[in-house]
Amino acid sequence: MDARRIIATVRDGGTPSREELGWFAAGLADGGVTDAQAGAFAMAVLLRGLSEEGRVALTLAMRDSGQRLSWDLPGPALDKHSTGGIGDCVSLVLAPALAACGAYVPMISGRGLGHTGGTLDKLESIPGVTTLLDEARFRDTVGKAGCAIVAASAAIAPADRRLYAVRDVSATVESLDLITASILSKKLAAGLDGLVLDVKTGSGAFMKSEEDARGLAEALVSTANAAGCPTAAVLSDMNQPLVPSLGNALEVAEAMRVLTGAASGPLAEITAVLGGVVLCGGGLAPDVDTGAAAVAKAIASGAAAEAFGRMIAAQGGPLGFVEDWARFLPEATVIREVAAPATGYVAGFAGEALGLTVVGLGGGRQVESDTVDPSVGISDILPMGAWVEKGQPLARVHAARTDGADRAVAEVQAAVTLSDTRPEAPRLIRDRIGP
Protein backbone atom coordinates (compact mmCIF):
# COMPACT_ATOMS: atom_id res chain seq x y z
CA MET A 1 0.00 0.00 0.00
CA ASP A 2 1.00 3.62 -0.49
CA ALA A 3 0.55 6.43 2.08
CA ARG A 4 0.38 8.98 -0.73
CA ARG A 5 -2.59 7.26 -2.33
CA ILE A 6 -4.43 7.08 0.99
CA ILE A 7 -3.80 10.78 1.63
CA ALA A 8 -4.95 11.66 -1.89
CA THR A 9 -8.16 9.67 -1.41
CA VAL A 10 -9.05 11.73 1.66
CA ARG A 11 -7.91 14.95 -0.02
CA ASP A 12 -10.29 14.31 -2.90
CA GLY A 13 -13.26 13.61 -0.62
CA GLY A 14 -13.14 9.84 -0.67
CA THR A 15 -12.93 7.25 2.11
CA PRO A 16 -9.98 4.86 2.26
CA SER A 17 -10.83 1.22 2.83
CA ARG A 18 -10.66 -0.36 6.26
CA GLU A 19 -7.54 -2.24 5.14
CA GLU A 20 -5.87 0.98 3.98
CA LEU A 21 -6.63 2.79 7.24
CA GLY A 22 -5.37 -0.22 9.18
CA TRP A 23 -2.12 -0.15 7.21
CA PHE A 24 -1.77 3.62 7.74
CA ALA A 25 -2.35 3.31 11.51
CA ALA A 26 0.24 0.55 11.73
CA GLY A 27 2.65 2.83 9.87
CA LEU A 28 2.00 5.60 12.38
CA ALA A 29 2.81 3.19 15.19
CA ASP A 30 5.99 1.69 13.74
CA GLY A 31 7.36 4.72 11.88
CA GLY A 32 6.58 3.45 8.39
CA VAL A 33 4.52 6.62 7.81
CA THR A 34 6.62 9.80 7.91
CA ASP A 35 5.77 12.93 9.91
CA ALA A 36 5.11 14.76 6.64
CA GLN A 37 2.64 12.08 5.56
CA ALA A 38 0.96 12.04 8.98
CA GLY A 39 0.56 15.82 8.86
CA ALA A 40 -0.80 15.72 5.32
CA PHE A 41 -3.30 13.03 6.30
CA ALA A 42 -4.44 15.03 9.34
CA MET A 43 -4.91 18.18 7.25
CA ALA A 44 -6.83 16.27 4.59
CA VAL A 45 -9.16 14.84 7.26
CA LEU A 46 -9.61 18.28 8.83
CA LEU A 47 -10.53 19.92 5.52
CA ARG A 48 -12.54 17.16 3.82
CA GLY A 49 -13.73 14.97 6.71
CA LEU A 50 -14.38 11.25 6.79
CA SER A 51 -17.62 9.39 6.33
CA GLU A 52 -19.04 7.72 9.42
CA GLU A 53 -17.79 4.43 8.05
CA GLY A 54 -14.32 5.92 7.64
CA ARG A 55 -14.34 7.41 11.13
CA VAL A 56 -15.22 4.03 12.65
CA ALA A 57 -12.54 2.31 10.56
CA LEU A 58 -9.88 4.85 11.59
CA THR A 59 -10.86 4.50 15.27
CA LEU A 60 -10.63 0.70 15.14
CA ALA A 61 -7.34 0.85 13.22
CA MET A 62 -5.82 3.13 15.85
CA ARG A 63 -7.20 0.91 18.62
CA ASP A 64 -5.64 -2.13 17.00
CA SER A 65 -2.24 -0.46 16.47
CA GLY A 66 -1.15 -1.61 19.94
CA GLN A 67 -2.18 -3.69 22.93
CA ARG A 68 -5.83 -4.46 23.61
CA LEU A 69 -6.88 -5.39 27.12
CA SER A 70 -9.56 -7.91 28.02
CA TRP A 71 -11.08 -8.62 31.40
CA ASP A 72 -12.39 -11.69 33.21
CA LEU A 73 -14.22 -10.10 36.14
CA PRO A 74 -17.45 -10.84 38.03
CA GLY A 75 -18.94 -7.55 36.79
CA PRO A 76 -18.79 -5.34 33.69
CA ALA A 77 -15.79 -3.12 32.93
CA LEU A 78 -17.21 0.41 32.72
CA ASP A 79 -15.61 3.81 32.24
CA LYS A 80 -16.22 7.51 31.67
CA HIS A 81 -14.48 10.15 29.59
CA SER A 82 -14.81 13.92 29.91
CA THR A 83 -13.94 16.38 27.17
CA GLY A 84 -12.50 18.65 29.87
CA GLY A 85 -13.40 21.72 31.84
CA ILE A 86 -12.51 23.72 34.93
CA GLY A 87 -13.05 22.24 38.37
CA ASP A 88 -13.91 18.90 36.75
CA CYS A 89 -12.94 16.24 39.30
CA VAL A 90 -15.83 13.89 38.50
CA SER A 91 -13.61 10.87 37.83
CA LEU A 92 -12.35 10.88 41.43
CA VAL A 93 -15.92 10.43 42.69
CA LEU A 94 -17.48 8.43 39.87
CA ALA A 95 -14.88 5.64 39.58
CA PRO A 96 -15.20 4.48 43.21
CA ALA A 97 -18.98 5.01 43.18
CA LEU A 98 -19.30 2.69 40.18
CA ALA A 99 -17.05 0.16 41.92
CA ALA A 100 -19.37 0.30 44.94
CA CYS A 101 -22.27 -0.51 42.60
CA GLY A 102 -20.70 -3.72 41.28
CA ALA A 103 -18.81 -2.39 38.26
CA TYR A 104 -15.07 -2.56 37.60
CA VAL A 105 -13.46 0.63 36.36
CA PRO A 106 -10.12 0.38 34.48
CA MET A 107 -9.87 4.14 33.90
CA ILE A 108 -7.07 5.23 31.60
CA SER A 109 -6.83 9.00 32.07
CA GLY A 110 -4.72 11.93 30.95
CA ARG A 111 -2.78 14.88 32.28
CA GLY A 112 -3.67 18.55 32.12
CA LEU A 113 -4.31 19.85 28.63
CA GLY A 114 -4.41 23.58 27.89
CA HIS A 115 -6.55 25.34 30.49
CA THR A 116 -8.08 22.15 31.90
CA GLY A 117 -6.67 20.07 34.73
CA GLY A 118 -5.79 16.42 34.31
CA THR A 119 -7.15 13.60 36.45
CA LEU A 120 -3.70 12.01 36.77
CA ASP A 121 -2.18 15.24 38.08
CA LYS A 122 -4.99 15.57 40.61
CA LEU A 123 -4.61 12.00 41.84
CA GLU A 124 -0.83 12.36 42.13
CA SER A 125 -1.24 15.31 44.51
CA ILE A 126 -1.96 12.61 47.12
CA PRO A 127 1.43 11.64 48.61
CA GLY A 128 2.79 8.34 47.35
CA VAL A 129 0.17 7.74 44.67
CA THR A 130 1.47 6.55 41.32
CA THR A 131 -0.54 6.32 38.13
CA LEU A 132 2.24 4.51 36.24
CA LEU A 133 1.23 0.91 36.86
CA ASP A 134 2.44 -2.06 34.89
CA GLU A 135 -0.26 -4.33 33.50
CA ALA A 136 -0.10 -6.87 36.33
CA ARG A 137 -0.49 -4.20 39.02
CA PHE A 138 -3.22 -2.46 37.01
CA ARG A 139 -5.21 -5.69 36.78
CA ASP A 140 -4.64 -6.49 40.44
CA THR A 141 -5.83 -3.03 41.53
CA VAL A 142 -8.97 -3.16 39.39
CA GLY A 143 -9.77 -6.66 40.67
CA LYS A 144 -9.25 -5.90 44.36
CA ALA A 145 -10.27 -2.23 44.67
CA GLY A 146 -12.89 -2.23 41.91
CA CYS A 147 -11.25 0.71 40.17
CA ALA A 148 -7.89 2.11 39.12
CA ILE A 149 -7.02 5.44 37.51
CA VAL A 150 -3.82 5.16 35.48
CA ALA A 151 -1.81 6.63 32.65
CA ALA A 152 -1.88 4.91 29.28
CA SER A 153 1.13 2.74 28.62
CA ALA A 154 3.12 3.25 25.44
CA ALA A 155 1.59 0.00 24.17
CA ILE A 156 -1.97 1.41 24.16
CA ALA A 157 -2.99 2.96 20.81
CA PRO A 158 0.53 4.03 19.74
CA ALA A 159 -0.86 5.30 16.43
CA ASP A 160 -2.87 7.88 18.37
CA ARG A 161 0.18 8.93 20.38
CA ARG A 162 2.06 9.62 17.15
CA LEU A 163 -0.80 11.30 15.28
CA TYR A 164 -1.72 13.46 18.29
CA ALA A 165 1.81 14.85 18.46
CA VAL A 166 1.70 15.67 14.75
CA ARG A 167 -1.75 17.30 15.03
CA ASP A 168 -0.50 19.52 17.85
CA VAL A 169 2.13 21.12 15.59
CA SER A 170 0.19 21.11 12.31
CA ALA A 171 -2.96 23.10 13.24
CA THR A 172 -5.21 20.05 12.90
CA VAL A 173 -6.29 19.49 16.52
CA GLU A 174 -9.83 20.69 15.83
CA SER A 175 -10.85 17.91 13.41
CA LEU A 176 -14.02 16.23 14.70
CA ASP A 177 -13.06 12.93 13.10
CA LEU A 178 -9.56 12.95 14.58
CA ILE A 179 -10.78 14.01 18.03
CA THR A 180 -13.27 11.13 17.97
CA ALA A 181 -10.70 8.56 16.85
CA SER A 182 -8.17 9.82 19.40
CA ILE A 183 -10.51 9.62 22.39
CA LEU A 184 -12.13 6.32 21.49
CA SER A 185 -9.06 4.41 20.29
CA LYS A 186 -7.61 4.52 23.81
CA LYS A 187 -10.91 3.80 25.57
CA LEU A 188 -11.79 0.89 23.28
CA ALA A 189 -8.30 -0.59 23.73
CA ALA A 190 -9.10 -0.84 27.46
CA GLY A 191 -11.63 -3.62 26.73
CA LEU A 192 -14.73 -1.86 28.07
CA ASP A 193 -18.25 -3.25 28.36
CA GLY A 194 -19.76 0.23 28.57
CA LEU A 195 -18.76 3.90 28.38
CA VAL A 196 -20.34 7.24 29.26
CA LEU A 197 -19.06 10.49 27.79
CA ASP A 198 -19.31 13.83 29.59
CA VAL A 199 -19.23 16.36 26.75
CA LYS A 200 -18.97 19.87 28.17
CA THR A 201 -19.98 23.18 26.66
CA GLY A 202 -19.46 26.76 27.75
CA SER A 203 -16.73 29.26 28.56
CA GLY A 204 -14.63 26.77 30.52
CA ALA A 205 -14.89 23.95 27.97
CA PHE A 206 -13.01 23.25 24.75
CA MET A 207 -16.32 23.24 22.89
CA LYS A 208 -17.67 26.70 23.66
CA SER A 209 -20.96 26.37 21.74
CA GLU A 210 -23.64 23.80 22.46
CA GLU A 211 -23.91 23.09 18.72
CA ASP A 212 -20.24 22.07 18.52
CA ALA A 213 -20.49 20.02 21.72
CA ARG A 214 -23.56 18.21 20.43
CA GLY A 215 -21.82 17.43 17.15
CA LEU A 216 -18.87 15.92 19.01
CA ALA A 217 -21.15 13.94 21.33
CA GLU A 218 -23.09 12.49 18.43
CA ALA A 219 -19.91 11.54 16.57
CA LEU A 220 -18.44 9.88 19.67
CA VAL A 221 -21.61 7.95 20.51
CA SER A 222 -22.27 6.70 16.99
CA THR A 223 -18.64 5.68 16.47
CA ALA A 224 -18.27 3.89 19.82
CA ASN A 225 -21.51 1.96 19.38
CA ALA A 226 -20.57 1.01 15.82
CA ALA A 227 -17.28 -0.27 17.23
CA GLY A 228 -19.18 -2.52 19.62
CA CYS A 229 -18.96 -0.61 22.91
CA PRO A 230 -22.35 0.42 24.41
CA THR A 231 -21.95 4.19 24.81
CA ALA A 232 -24.06 7.23 25.62
CA ALA A 233 -23.17 10.87 26.24
CA VAL A 234 -24.31 13.63 28.56
CA LEU A 235 -24.09 17.28 27.49
CA SER A 236 -23.18 19.32 30.57
CA ASP A 237 -22.63 22.98 31.36
CA MET A 238 -19.16 24.45 31.84
CA ASN A 239 -19.95 28.17 32.02
CA GLN A 240 -18.75 28.13 35.61
CA PRO A 241 -16.44 25.82 37.57
CA LEU A 242 -18.05 22.52 38.47
CA VAL A 243 -16.67 22.84 42.01
CA PRO A 244 -15.60 26.08 43.72
CA SER A 245 -11.89 25.19 43.44
CA LEU A 246 -9.38 24.89 40.61
CA GLY A 247 -6.04 23.19 41.14
CA ASN A 248 -4.91 19.65 41.78
CA ALA A 249 -4.93 19.20 45.56
CA LEU A 250 -7.78 21.68 45.93
CA GLU A 251 -9.97 19.63 43.58
CA VAL A 252 -9.07 16.41 45.39
CA ALA A 253 -10.34 18.13 48.55
CA GLU A 254 -13.63 18.94 46.82
CA ALA A 255 -14.00 15.34 45.69
CA MET A 256 -13.31 14.10 49.21
CA ARG A 257 -15.97 16.41 50.65
CA VAL A 258 -18.53 14.80 48.35
CA LEU A 259 -17.28 11.25 48.98
CA THR A 260 -17.38 11.73 52.77
CA GLY A 261 -20.79 13.41 52.81
CA ALA A 262 -19.51 16.88 53.77
CA ALA A 263 -20.73 18.52 50.53
CA SER A 264 -23.22 17.99 47.73
CA GLY A 265 -24.03 20.30 44.81
CA PRO A 266 -23.18 20.05 41.09
CA LEU A 267 -20.35 17.52 41.49
CA ALA A 268 -22.61 15.04 43.26
CA GLU A 269 -25.43 15.73 40.78
CA ILE A 270 -23.45 15.11 37.61
CA THR A 271 -21.71 12.07 39.13
CA ALA A 272 -25.10 10.47 39.77
CA VAL A 273 -26.34 11.24 36.26
CA LEU A 274 -23.23 9.93 34.51
CA GLY A 275 -23.18 6.88 36.77
CA GLY A 276 -26.83 6.15 36.09
CA VAL A 277 -26.25 6.27 32.33
CA VAL A 278 -23.28 3.90 32.34
CA LEU A 279 -24.76 1.49 34.92
CA CYS A 280 -27.83 1.20 32.72
CA GLY A 281 -25.73 0.69 29.57
CA GLY A 282 -23.59 -1.88 31.35
CA GLY A 283 -26.57 -3.92 32.55
CA LEU A 284 -26.26 -3.11 36.26
CA ALA A 285 -29.41 -0.97 36.40
CA PRO A 286 -32.76 -1.35 34.61
CA ASP A 287 -32.90 2.35 33.75
CA VAL A 288 -30.90 5.55 34.13
CA ASP A 289 -32.86 6.88 37.13
CA THR A 290 -32.40 3.65 39.08
CA GLY A 291 -28.69 3.70 38.28
CA ALA A 292 -28.38 7.32 39.39
CA ALA A 293 -30.09 6.48 42.67
CA ALA A 294 -27.66 3.59 43.19
CA VAL A 295 -24.69 5.91 42.69
CA ALA A 296 -26.11 8.47 45.10
CA LYS A 297 -26.68 5.71 47.67
CA ALA A 298 -23.12 4.42 47.24
CA ILE A 299 -21.81 7.89 48.05
CA ALA A 300 -24.20 8.53 50.96
CA SER A 301 -23.47 5.15 52.58
CA GLY A 302 -19.71 5.63 52.47
CA ALA A 303 -19.22 2.63 50.17
CA ALA A 304 -17.77 4.84 47.42
CA ALA A 305 -15.32 6.42 49.86
CA GLU A 306 -14.20 2.96 50.98
CA ALA A 307 -13.57 1.95 47.36
CA PHE A 308 -11.59 5.16 46.82
CA GLY A 309 -9.49 4.38 49.87
CA ARG A 310 -8.74 0.88 48.57
CA MET A 311 -7.68 2.32 45.22
CA ILE A 312 -5.43 4.96 46.80
CA ALA A 313 -3.69 2.37 48.98
CA ALA A 314 -3.25 -0.01 46.03
CA GLN A 315 -1.67 2.77 43.98
CA GLY A 316 0.85 3.63 46.70
CA GLY A 317 -1.01 6.25 48.73
CA PRO A 318 -1.63 6.46 52.49
CA LEU A 319 -3.64 3.64 54.08
CA GLY A 320 -5.76 6.07 56.11
CA PHE A 321 -6.27 8.71 53.46
CA VAL A 322 -10.08 8.72 53.47
CA GLU A 323 -10.30 9.00 57.25
CA ASP A 324 -7.93 12.00 57.47
CA TRP A 325 -7.54 13.27 53.93
CA ALA A 326 -6.96 16.96 54.80
CA ARG A 327 -3.78 16.05 56.70
CA PHE A 328 -2.17 14.53 53.61
CA LEU A 329 -2.89 17.12 50.91
CA PRO A 330 -0.18 19.74 50.22
CA GLU A 331 -0.95 23.38 51.00
CA ALA A 332 0.33 26.51 49.27
CA THR A 333 2.59 28.87 51.17
CA VAL A 334 0.78 32.05 50.03
CA ILE A 335 -3.02 32.44 50.21
CA ARG A 336 -4.64 35.72 49.11
CA GLU A 337 -8.26 36.81 48.99
CA VAL A 338 -9.54 38.13 45.68
CA ALA A 339 -11.53 41.25 46.53
CA ALA A 340 -14.57 42.10 44.41
CA PRO A 341 -13.76 45.23 42.39
CA ALA A 342 -17.42 46.33 42.53
CA THR A 343 -20.76 45.45 44.10
CA GLY A 344 -23.13 43.15 42.22
CA TYR A 345 -24.16 39.64 41.28
CA VAL A 346 -21.62 37.18 39.93
CA ALA A 347 -22.88 37.01 36.35
CA GLY A 348 -20.28 35.00 34.49
CA PHE A 349 -16.77 33.67 34.19
CA ALA A 350 -14.08 33.70 31.55
CA GLY A 351 -13.58 30.03 32.26
CA GLU A 352 -10.59 29.46 30.04
CA ALA A 353 -8.84 32.46 31.60
CA LEU A 354 -9.40 31.04 35.09
CA GLY A 355 -7.88 27.73 34.03
CA LEU A 356 -4.86 29.47 32.53
CA THR A 357 -4.40 31.41 35.78
CA VAL A 358 -3.93 28.08 37.57
CA VAL A 359 -1.45 26.99 34.88
CA GLY A 360 0.44 30.27 35.39
CA LEU A 361 0.64 29.58 39.12
CA GLY A 362 2.35 26.28 38.34
CA GLY A 363 -0.71 24.06 38.61
CA GLY A 364 -0.45 22.92 34.99
CA ARG A 365 2.11 22.64 32.19
CA GLN A 366 3.01 25.31 29.67
CA VAL A 367 5.46 22.86 28.07
CA GLU A 368 5.47 19.08 28.47
CA SER A 369 8.59 19.07 30.68
CA ASP A 370 7.13 21.46 33.32
CA THR A 371 6.80 20.20 36.88
CA VAL A 372 3.33 20.66 38.37
CA ASP A 373 2.89 22.23 41.83
CA PRO A 374 -0.05 20.30 43.31
CA SER A 375 -0.78 22.88 46.03
CA VAL A 376 -1.55 25.98 43.94
CA GLY A 377 -4.86 27.10 42.49
CA ILE A 378 -8.03 29.04 43.26
CA SER A 379 -10.58 28.15 45.95
CA ASP A 380 -13.83 29.45 47.43
CA ILE A 381 -15.02 30.75 44.05
CA LEU A 382 -18.47 32.29 44.37
CA PRO A 383 -21.08 30.73 42.05
CA MET A 384 -23.12 32.51 39.42
CA GLY A 385 -25.96 34.43 41.05
CA ALA A 386 -24.10 35.13 44.29
CA TRP A 387 -24.27 38.74 45.57
CA VAL A 388 -21.01 40.33 46.62
CA GLU A 389 -20.18 43.75 48.04
CA LYS A 390 -17.17 45.68 46.78
CA GLY A 391 -14.08 44.55 48.66
CA GLN A 392 -15.59 41.25 49.82
CA PRO A 393 -13.87 38.04 48.65
CA LEU A 394 -14.79 36.58 45.25
CA ALA A 395 -12.31 33.73 45.71
CA ARG A 396 -8.93 32.86 47.22
CA VAL A 397 -5.67 32.39 45.36
CA HIS A 398 -3.21 29.71 46.50
CA ALA A 399 0.32 30.41 45.28
CA ALA A 400 3.93 29.46 45.87
CA ARG A 401 5.19 33.07 45.85
CA THR A 402 3.81 36.54 46.49
CA ASP A 403 4.46 37.84 42.97
CA GLY A 404 2.53 34.93 41.50
CA ALA A 405 -0.30 35.51 43.96
CA ASP A 406 -0.54 39.21 43.07
CA ARG A 407 -0.69 38.44 39.36
CA ALA A 408 -3.30 35.72 39.87
CA VAL A 409 -5.52 37.98 42.00
CA ALA A 410 -5.67 40.52 39.16
CA GLU A 411 -6.39 37.78 36.62
CA VAL A 412 -9.24 36.33 38.66
CA GLN A 413 -10.79 39.79 39.12
CA ALA A 414 -10.66 40.28 35.34
CA ALA A 415 -12.17 36.84 34.67
CA VAL A 416 -15.30 37.33 36.80
CA THR A 417 -18.17 39.45 35.48
CA LEU A 418 -20.33 41.33 37.99
CA SER A 419 -23.80 42.69 37.17
CA ASP A 420 -26.63 44.65 38.77
CA THR A 421 -29.03 42.00 37.48
CA ARG A 422 -29.10 38.51 38.92
CA PRO A 423 -28.36 36.02 36.13
CA GLU A 424 -30.36 32.90 35.46
CA ALA A 425 -28.43 29.88 36.69
CA PRO A 426 -27.36 27.65 33.77
CA ARG A 427 -28.75 24.12 33.63
CA LEU A 428 -26.01 21.68 34.60
CA ILE A 429 -27.34 18.82 32.46
CA ARG A 430 -28.25 20.01 28.96
CA ASP A 431 -29.16 16.74 27.27
CA ARG A 432 -28.44 13.03 26.95
CA ILE A 433 -27.44 11.45 23.66
CA GLY A 434 -27.56 7.78 22.87
CA PRO A 435 -29.47 4.73 24.08
119 is catalytic: yes
Q: Report the C-alpha gap between 333 and 44 in whole angstroms.
A: 49
**Among this protein's residues, is 200 annotated catalytic?**
no
Report the amino acid identity of residue 81: H
Catalytic residue among 59, 65, 82, 357: 82
208 is catalytic: no
Q: Is 81 one of the annotated active-site residues of the chain?
A: yes
Question: Of residues 79, 121, 160, 237, which has the active-site annotation?
Answer: 79
Q: Report CA torsion sign: 173, 267, 396, 126.
A: negative
Helix, strand, or coil here: 255?
Answer: helix
Catalytic residue among 115, 122, 167, 200: 167
What are the φ and ψ backbone dihedral angles of 78, each rounded to 5 degrees? Answer: -120, 155
Which of 59, 116, 180, 182 is catalytic? The answer is: 182
Q: Catalytic residue at 167? A: yes
Query: Which one from 55, 64, 65, 80 is the annotated catalytic residue?
Result: 80
> How many Cα atoms sit within 13 Å of 319 on the Cβ side?
0
The catalytic position among 55, 81, 162, 432 is 81
What's the farthest any 2 CA atoms get from each other in the chain? 68
For residue 36, the 8-state DSSP code is H
The single-letter code of the amino acid at 412 is V
With a CB cutoff of 8 Å and minimum separation 6, the contacts of 429 are 234, 235, 236, 237, 269, 270, 273
Residue 237: phi and psi, rounded to 5, are -80, 140
Pairing of strands 194-201, 377-379: unpaired
Q: Parallel, antiparallel, or unpaired: how do β-strands 105-109 and 147-151 relate?
A: parallel
Q: Indicate which residue of 161, 186, 257, 398 is catalytic.
A: 186
DSSP classification of residue 432: E
Annotation says 80 is catalytic: yes
Is 115 a residue of the active site?
Answer: no
Of the candidates 91, 116, 119, 175, the residue annotated as catalytic is 119
**Cβ neighbour number for residue 365 with a 10 Å cutoff:** 17
Active-site residue set: 79-82, 119, 167, 182, 186-187
